[in-house]
Amino acid sequence: MDEKMLTAPASTLAEAIRDKQVSSRELLDGYLARIDRLGGPINAVVTLDVDRAHAAATAADDATVRGELKGPLHGLPVTIKDAIETEGIRSTGGAVELSDHVPAADAPAVARLKAAGAIVFGKTNLPRWSGNLQTYNELFGTTNNPWAIDRTPGGSSGGAAAAVACGFTSFELGTDIGGSIRTPSHFCGVFGLKPSYGVVPQRGYLDHVTGGTTDADINVFGPIARSADDLDLLLSVLAGPEPERTPAWRLALPDPGGTSLADYRIGTWLTDPACTVDREYLDVMSRTADLLSDAGAKVEESHPDVGFVEQVETFMGLIVPAVSPSLPDDVADASSGSHRAWLRHNEDRARLGQIWARWFEDHDILLCPVAAMPCFPHDQEGDILSRMVQVNGVPRSHIELIQWAGLIGVIGLPSAVPPIGRTSAGLPVGLQTVAPYLLDRRAIQVARLISGVTGGYAVPPGF
């Protein structure tokens, strides 16, 4: 097997297995060897389940010979973010309290991947309880960015995005409550999808010791991959109601509504006085918008008539209660506020969502930053509230960096992130393609079309 195949899109790999150009066992052994040879400096894959994965890959290959394909992901070896319960494999949430936790059952999203033929062989690193813009924890240490190992791959799905970028897995399943799929995808030069809120079941999410049995506000599960086609394929597998609702509920996501850039009316919101963006990153986004216009898209500087600060304040008012189960009891009680305060923020969210819906009557997609800057150097001093980083020579807090992601996440809209280029220092960057609620396939389609003019995923140097 040509090792270049290990960095091919998952959709390409699935077709190669179906056509008997490569076996599941060959892919699995290729990923394991690649992790062994190249994975040390990155530290993305932190737990392996080799024996069971080998048995499953052998069974998949036998089924391929018989013409009995299990599903669209038949035989694909994959890793899963360690915040998601996976049957028979240590699943920790990045916390020492769950260092010996081996779930007896899969999270519904993992079960859907397996039912479609995927073979889970490992788990990827994350910050404790998925609560950081960087990826490190007491159990497994620090994950490094494959484009610059002195920099973070982002959080909280940093191990997932790094593993995809390095060709350590066919694709990944991550989580996103404050940009945790989108930011690592942006930092590592891969594709990510934050689905519409509620489209993919999020049960089995380990954000505290007894977590996984209820849904967290704002949070979603979604794929990280090497192409927009992969995102589309994986959304088809993952999307659907929670298991208890499947007897009566069905989900039919609309088609994207266009086949070329000329079919789309695109608004851009590439920076804002309340959260200015790194100049070089802004230049890459601006050039991308120009390329889309040159290719026939109707592009204009326009965004919904909402205040950036107001909407981010609504996000902060809702995310703190959402993540409070992962905080010490005294901190959670002091910071999460009253139920009445949550209800007021929820009403604000509904009002803001209506403004966005009206704007989308005249526009198909909004393009906006993922974070305020490209990936930044590791900083584990203090905590996320006290850490600062320079953006255009001005100190900015780590919390400020996630505001663009929170702006979109709080109202539950789908957002795909395609890679769009690199800075002069060689750091990859992406942007958000934001679509109306439940029009996830439109967000993916525009990401696909953008990658056609910007080049999409590239293998990091040395990998």
Give the number of other CB atoms < 10 A from CB of residue 44: 32
Report DSSP state, residue 393: T
Catalytic residues: 81, 156, 180
Gap between the Cα atoms of 48 and 375, Å rounded: 27
Q: Give the C-alpha distances (Å, rounded to integers) separating 341 from 35, 257, 271, 312, 338.
A: 47, 39, 30, 16, 5
d(C-alpha 154, C-alpha 147), whole Å: 12
What integer is the mean pLDDT of 112-131? 98
351 vs 1, residue with greater confidence:
351
Whole-prediction pTM: 0.98
Q: How many CB atoms lie within 10 A of CB 13?
A: 25
Residue tagged 């024996």 (tokens): 51
pLDDT at position 143 is: 99
Same fold, 3-245 and 261-454: yes
In whole angstroms, give the CA distance from residue 287 to residue 454.
10
Domains of the chain by residue range = 3-245, 261-454
Q: What is the pLDDT of residue 375?
A: 98
Q: Which of 1-5, 221-225, 275-279, 351-355 has the lowest mean pLDDT?
A: 1-5
Give pLDDT, residue 400. 95
How confident is the model over 136-182, as pLDDT tens digits?
A: 999 999 999 999 999 999 999 999 999 999 999 999 999 999 999 99
Give the pLDDT confidence of 42-51 residue by residue, as tens digits.
999 999 999 9
Q: How confident is the model at residue 58 (pLDDT cuts 50, 70, 90)?
A: very high
Q: Domain 261-454: give its CATH superfamily.
A: Amidase signature (AS) domain (3.90.1300.10)
State the pLDDT at residue 158: 98
Provide the pLDDT confidence category of residue 80 given band limits of 50, 70 and 90: very high
Q: How many angstroms separate the CA atoms of 414 and 335, rounded? A: 28
Percent of the chain with pLDDT over 70: 100
d(CA 97, CA 82): 14
Q: Determine contact, residues 72/31, Cβ cutoff 8 Å.
A: no
Q: What percent of the chain has pLDDT over 90?
A: 98
CB of 137 closer than 8 Å to CB of 126: yes
Averaged pLDDT, 343-361: 98
pLDDT bin (cut points 50, 70, 90) of residue 78 is very high
The pLDDT mean for the chain works out to 97
Q: Which pLDDT belongs to residue 14?
A: 98
pLDDT, residue 139, reads 98
Mapped onto helix, strand or coil, the DSSP state of residue 149 is coil
Q: Which CATH superfamily is domain 3-245 in?
A: Amidase signature (AS) domain (3.90.1300.10)
Q: List alpha helices for 240-307, DSSP H.
A: 279-294
